[in-house]
Amino acid sequence: MPSYTPMIEQYLKIKARYQDCFLFFRLGDFYEMFFTDATKAAQELEITLTSRDGGSDERIPMCGIPYHAATNYIKTLVERGYKVAICEQVEDPKTAKGVVKRDVVQVITPGTVMEGAMLLEHENNYLASVETAGDGFALSFVDLSTGELFAVLVEHIDRLKSEIYNRPIKEIVVPPTLSAADYKILRDELQLTVSSQDLENITIDQTFIDPLTLSLTSKHLKQAITRLIHYVQATQQRALEHVQVAKEIVLSGYLGLDMHSKRNLELTETMMKKGKQGSLLWVLDQTVTAMGTRRLKKWLERPLLDHQTLLDRFDIVEGFLNQFIEREALREDLKAIYDLERLSGRVAFGNVSPRDLLQLRLSLERVPSLKTTLKDFDASSINAFGDVLDTMEELQTLLLTSLAEEPPLTLKEGGIIRDGFNEQLDDYRYASRNGKQWISDLEQKERAETKIKSLKIGYNRVFGYYIEVTKANLHLLPEGKYERKQTLTNAERYITPELKEKENLILQAEEKSLQLEHDLFVALREQVKVFIPRLQKLAEQVSAIDVLQSFAVVSESEGYVRPKLTTDETVSIINGRHPVVEKVMTDGMYVPNNITLDKKTKMLLITGPNMSGKSTYMRQVALTVIMAQIGCFVPADSATLPVFDQIFTRIGAADDLVSGQSTFMVEMLESKHAITHATKNSLILLDEIGRGTSTYDGMALAQAIIEYVHDYIGAKTLFSTHYHELTSLSDTLKNLENVHVSAEEHDGEVVFLHKIKPGPADESYGIHVAKLAGMPDTLIARANVILHLLEGNNHDEKASHCDKTGKGKLTPSTNKDVLTENETSVNSLPAQGEMDQLSFFETEKPIAKAKPSQLEKKLKQMDILSMTPIDAMNALYELKQDVQGE
């Protein structure tokens, strides 16, 4: 082993205990890093990498950051998923023998961030823990900045992924025994910082953990919380009084939204930019407090199933909506209230600043006005909010009498405590203030006696107070009165016995004043801790008020209406709109649409051109349901809705690069998830199922899925498709109805009307969409030629395959027995020769057809699917030459 200096040896011993962290090693006014930490930190933080002599033959890599600027550097590392161990001096250097003792005082990780500068104001920051529970999992998560603690049991890994995805979880603590496959999902697929915590051979503080888990019956949930809390205590090494009693989330009480549905519907962030703007949260967020924004996001992530709670929320929103003036007064009250949740967290954590306590005082002073404003509303449900708000007058009085009117940002500056709060502090301040006045008077006196106008009395930490005289005026100083202290280039500095005596009094008073203020502030913080549970309760009430008034504001500005909840399975939305699309359309030309589903019609098969609005129509139905089930009014002229238990979506196409799955595999997995877990009370949205594979396979799968949902599940379903042949399923599936998005063609130009009408669509207008996309005119013209050729061939073949009515026919499956691997239900697929768009692929001879010409023979021999564009053009040219030769 190399021989290192004692300081480097100390570093290595501490680093050995924190191998997965960057070790910020305090040396004076800098945090230093050495060895591989230095090399990696220099790259990540873009700081200079240097080296130093550490006692061995080779120089040691080193980099450092200023102590006072550490927050931003730590934030950068934590945002990238790293952990930072803060190593401080834990011994007074004046009394140290040898190397000053140092140790890690805190480990900052993505899930344990507490500094305000590192947190997003409107986002929670969760640290989670997971345990296996039979075939399922126990998940717990805590936001240390607010103290909220939750626990939930999930049945399978997919539901675990959805729960984690639905929450802003940044880090997860796992047992060392977690399977490698599950570990990989957490780290790679969900992109979490994964930390391992072993509970073997350690002392667990059950006196703290037991009260937190008192309401839980599952031993697995208790174990998850135990692991979570122990990890927090081990990394933070400070009190956690603000952590609240665990709230168990019973999933059966909330609308089920898996991670695919949340992503596809863009509830809280957009799929493309991963930002808030363009999401449903962006439209609905008219909150005025940070607490309110976070609560709105929680409600969106977990809509309700309880009928009565939703009605209560509608009543409150309606009450706010009906009284504009009072609502505006309410918003002004709310704007004056700071983030009580995070203020409480900082008080408990011990990193609350004097300014934080001032914000707390100002917030509490506004609560009485808030109560009065709530009483001004006519709705009794709103008045009830005012009845329960806690003004905490004792805490108001304590902060008002103890805290200065304009306290500093840090504890080092002084001026924290109000004059008159502590007699001893007042004496120190009197001595300090009078002493400084004495210094000022002495300066004037010395100028008068010496006739030196430039004479001044200054102060620095090294020499204390001094009298400075320029060298040009030294001859004016009287003999024997001044004692030389320091020589400068152009001046001399002196002291007098009188000045030295006064200096001791002033500095002692200032030093004692600062220390006493610090002690008084720490005592004040401990007194405020007692009020944390009441502050958290008040924060919960204020944030709920903020969200509900936000619903009223957006409902008024966007013309939303109160939905009617029904128990008879009826879905009736008149002139419904997509809230986000309508918001971004500045021309006011959004086309509203109706939807009606009931016991008779449970499934809509939607056809129509690309870009015509099929996906928008499907999404707006789901978003309307979600808005209703969080208690908000909805974008429609009227809406009657049941309470859905789950929403499943398969909208859009994208490869899952992390899992190595193709678009089609993702499509099948999401569809399988829907048909596996949906009930008759669910809402299913399936968009263009089957487009990721060959046409025959895709059509067969699409029809089979439609039949399965229709026959076995009975859920309300919107199914969009370009397989127009599927529209004949309405003849045999009694609960399916065809609708289409209309379009009109004028002089070769297509106009999309975006209006949903009964019946199937006539055509897809794919070439017209390509034209709208800006494809070259030559290409468009060529596509039209090929389309006419294919349609002509298709028409000839089709004529011989129609039934006596002259129409092609699809025969859906009526056999509900499960087929074996080697069996195929002929009736479950469209009959060959009866697929309008695809019949030109057939090779069987038509019945009673005339002898084919040479041109027809050549066409039938062509393998169009395997042709390149050049091959196709050459083949077409040869056919043209043959026709001209004839």
- pLDDT per position as a tens digit, 104-132: 999 999 999 988 888 988 999 999 999 99
Burial of 478 (0-12, 13-18, 19+ CB in 10 A): exposed
Tell me the CATH architecture of domain 423-526.
Orthogonal Bundle (1.10)
CATH 3.40.1170.10 describes domain 6-108: yes
Look at residue 666 in the predicted model and tell me its pLDDT.
78
Which is more confident, 886 or 408? 408
pLDDT tens across 409-438, in order?
888 888 999 999 999 999 888 888 888 888
Look at residue 1 in the predicted model and tell me its pLDDT.
52
pLDDT at 707 over 90: yes
Nearest Cα to Cα of residue 456 among 467, 465, 464, 448: 467
pLDDT tens across 472-524, in order?
999 899 888 899 988 998 999 999 888 888 888 888 888 889 999 999 999 99
Under the banding of pLDDT at 50, 70 and 90, the label for residue 650 is: confident
| Dist. CA 265–CA 341, nearest whole Å | 30
Q: What percent of the chain has pLDDT over 90?
A: 61
Under the banding of pLDDT at 50, 70 and 90, the label for residue 722 is: confident
Q: Is 612 annotated as a binding residue?
A: yes
pLDDT at 572 over 90: yes
Q: What percent of the chain has pLDDT over 70?
A: 88
Q: Is 432 annotated as a binding residue?
A: no
pLDDT at 841 over 70: no
Most confident of 195-199, 282-286, 673-677, 783-787: 282-286
- Residue ranges of domains in the chain: 6-108, 120-249, 285-392+531-558, 423-526, 564-774
Q: How many CA atoms lie within 13 A of 733 on its CB side?
A: 30
Mean pLDDT of 861-879: 67
pLDDT at 585 over 80: yes
Q: Is 613 annotated as a binding residue?
A: yes
| Dist. CA 175–CA 132, nearest whole Å | 9
Which is more confident, 228 or 670? 228
CATH 1.10.1420.10 describes domain 285-392+531-558: yes
Please provide the distance, in angstroms rounded to a whole number, between the alpha carbons at the two ends of the chain: 94
Confirm if 300 and 284 have CB atoms less than 8 A apart: yes
Q: How is residue 839 annotated by DSSP?
A: G
Which is more confident, 463 or 106? 106
Look at residue 439 in the predicted model and tell me its pLDDT.
87
Cβ neighbour number for residue 310 with a 10 Å cutoff: 20
The reply to whether 285-392+531-558 and 423-526 are identical in fold is yes
Mean pLDDT of 222-249: 93
Q: Can you read off the two tokens belonging to residue 830?
A: 């469209």
Confirm if 830 and 725 have CB atoms less than 8 A apart: yes
| Dist. CA 703–CA 120, nearest whole Å | 47
pLDDT tens across 25-72, in order?
999 899 999 999 999 999 999 999 999 998 877 899 999 999 999 999
Mean pLDDT of 801-824: 39
Nearest Cα to Cα of residue 286 among 122, 446, 159, 400: 122
| Coil/strand/helix, residue 606 | strand
Tell me the CATH architecture of domain 120-249.
2-Layer Sandwich (3.30)
Strands 126-133 and 84-89, how do they pair?
Answer: unpaired
* Residue given tokens 């004076």 in the structure block: 28
What are the distances in angstroms from CA 656 to CA 164, 653, 664, 688, 697?
A: 18, 10, 10, 18, 21
Q: Is 614 annotated as a binding residue?
A: yes
Look at residue 112 in the predicted model and tell me its pLDDT.
95
Under the banding of pLDDT at 50, 70 and 90, the label for residue 764 is: low
Look at residue 869 in the predicted model and tell me its pLDDT.
60
Cβ neighbour number for residue 442 with a 10 Å cutoff: 17
Task: Determine which of 387-391, 869-873, 878-882 has the lowest per-residue pLDDT on average.
Answer: 869-873
The beta strands (E) that lie in 251-339 are given as 256-257
pLDDT tens across 46-59, in order?
999 999 998 877 89
Q: How many CA atoms lie within 13 A of 740 on its CB side?
A: 19
pTM score over 0.95: no
Look at residue 817 in the predicted model and tell me its pLDDT.
39
| Dist. CA 753–CA 128, nearest whole Å | 48
Mean pLDDT of the residues in the chain: 87
Q: Is 33 annotated as a binding residue?
A: no
Long-range contact set of residues 263-272: C-beta below 8 Å, sequence gap at least 24: 263/165, 264/619, 264/649, 264/650, 264/651, 264/652, 264/685, 265/619, 265/622, 265/623, 265/626, 265/647, 265/649, 265/651, 266/580, 267/300, 267/301, 267/626, 268/297, 268/300, 268/301, 271/652
| Dist. CA 299–CA 284, nearest whole Å | 11
Q: Is 608 annotated as a binding residue?
A: yes
Look at residue 176 in the predicted model and tell me its pLDDT.
93
Under the banding of pLDDT at 50, 70 and 90, the label for residue 793 is: low
Mean pLDDT of 437-453: 90
Confirm if 251 and 305 have CB atoms less than 8 A apart: no
Which is more confident, 587 or 308? 308
- Homologous superfamily of 564-774: P-loop containing nucleotide triphosphate hydrolases (3.40.50.300)
